[in-house]
Amino acid sequence: MELGNQDLTVALFEQFPIRRTWQDGEWWYSVVDMMGALTASPNARRYWSNLKRDMRDEEKIDVYSLGVRILKMPDSIGRMQKTDCANTQMLLRLIQSVKSPNAEPFKQWLADVGAQVIEDAEEHQLRADYRLKLHRFDGELHELVSYRGIVTPEQHQALTDANYAGLYGVASEQALIQQRHLPFTGKPPEFMGSEEMGINIFQRTQAAARIKERDLHGSPDINAAAEDVGVEIRLTLERLGRPMPEDLPQHKLLSRGDWVPEEELALSDWDNSDEGNEDNGESPPPIVRTRR
């Protein structure tokens, strides 16, 4: 579960874990955790209870009328319990009532988290756009070779292996899956970022161009051309000082519903992607370290 997923995560402010949940298009944070981070109180729950009372009695402010919500979050042993939560706007208001030297750093932390949410959303959209492009260029490559002696599923898989072999320095698609610790039934593009997919798009288009230019036929020549193009792209990346494709960050699985146009969802594709890859089991919320 990554930043932007509509689920539970834990973010870190300094050494303090702060639980949060994605609701209605924004993060909602545990107010108790926030109080612990701001005040370093040994009993953050009591501190928050007292602050609510003081705000009601002294400032005539009811935090729930202000916008604080009661949402379920996991406690220290993983049980889902109701707790007070606030979005960024509410947290900034609550900070005004807390006398703490951490107030300003915490405000900056909230700004950083907000910027990261925007950045992640932009990358998600780029991934979806590039995934569709890669799907189509890969399909065009396979359609091209289907008139040049690549007919059986095994021959098409051998071409897929050659595409990855040259670009990643591996023996096959399955070797790449193992190298990157992807689900056994997964497909590498579903976990790529936009930069990595862009590299793969370039490889597919240039492999197709070389096959047409040299009028290649048959698995040996076509696969060799696809692999050679990948090797040349690796050498170019090295000269540019860019990371190799296998060293680029991996991302949360990009489901077909994220990138396949609605009218095409029912159509088959060359990848024969398996929607059953996603893990629906319960697990503790992961820690996400936000950039400072």
Query: What is the β-pairing status of strands 8-13 and 287-288?
Result: parallel
Cα separation, 91 vs 85, in Å, equals 9
Residue 244, pLDDT score? 94
Choice between 68 and 78, residue whose per-residue pLDDT is larger: 68
Collapsed DSSP state (helix, strand, coil) of residue 244: coil
Mean pLDDT across the chain, nearest whole number? Answer: 82
Burial of 198 (0-12, 13-18, 19+ CB in 10 A): middle
Which of 63, 62, 60, 47 lies closest to 98 in space, CA to CA? 47
Question: Which one has a higher pLDDT value, 181 or 148?
Answer: 148
Q: Does residue 109 carry a pLDDT above 60?
A: yes
Q: Which of 64-68, 208-212, 253-257 has the lowest mean pLDDT?
A: 253-257
Instruction: Please check the confidence at residue 233 and state whether its pLDDT lies above 80.
Output: yes
Give 80's contacts (C-beta < 8 A, 6+ positions apart). 72, 73, 74
pLDDT digits (tens, 9 = 90+) for 172-200: 999 999 998 888 778 999 999 999 999 99
Residues 20-53: pLDDT tens digits? 887 877 788 899 998 888 887 889 899 999 989 9
What distance in Å separates the CA atoms of residue 193 and residue 122, rounded to the nearest whole number?
11
Sequence spans of domains, the chain: 8-101, 123-277
The residue-averaged pLDDT of 161-169 equals 97
| Token couple for 21 | 């949940």
Backbone phi, then psi, for 243, in 5-degree steps? -65, 150
pTM score over 0.75? no
- What is the predicted pLDDT for the residue at 291? 42
Q: What is the pLDDT of residue 7?
A: 47
Distance in angstroms (rounded) separating the CA atoms of residues 266 and 155: 25
C-alpha to C-alpha distance for 105 and 124, rounded to whole angstroms: 28
